[in-house]
């Protein structure tokens, strides 16, 4: 599985909301801490990167754009 970064969001809560939305559309999502916040002292705070499979990146971008426009 070849993962590509879809987006970076400001916190874990927003990452989970987007993950839930995309997974309901059939796109698996992996959430990782961003490079500079990959430290256990930060707890659950800090930005997160969301990754999807390379072949689904364009669909995920389109769905995410529509999701943001609907909010």
Q: Could you tell me the residue ranges of all domains in the chain?
A: 3-70
3-70: CATH architecture = 2-Layer Sandwich (3.30)
**pLDDT tens per residue across span 6-65:** 999 999 999 999 999 999 999 999 999 887 666 666 666 789 999 999 999 999 999 999
Please enumerate in sequence order all residues whose Cβ is within 8 A of that of 61, keeping only pairs 6 or more positions apart, or say none: 6
pTM of the complete model: 0.84
CA distances from 55 to 8, 16, 40, 60, 70 (A): 19, 21, 32, 10, 25
CB contact at 8 A, 12 and 44:
yes
pLDDT band at 3 (very low <50, low <70, confident <90, very high): very high
């Amino acid at each position: 599985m070849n993962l590509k970064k879809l987006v970076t969001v400001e916190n874990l809560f927003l990452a989970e909301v987007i993950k839930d939305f995309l997974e309901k559309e059939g796109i698996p999502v992996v959430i990782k801490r961003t490079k500079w916040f990959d430290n256990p002292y930060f707890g659950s705070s800090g930005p997160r990167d969301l990754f999807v499979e390379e072949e689904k990146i364009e669909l995920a971008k389109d769905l995410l754009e529509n999701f943001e426009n609907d909010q």
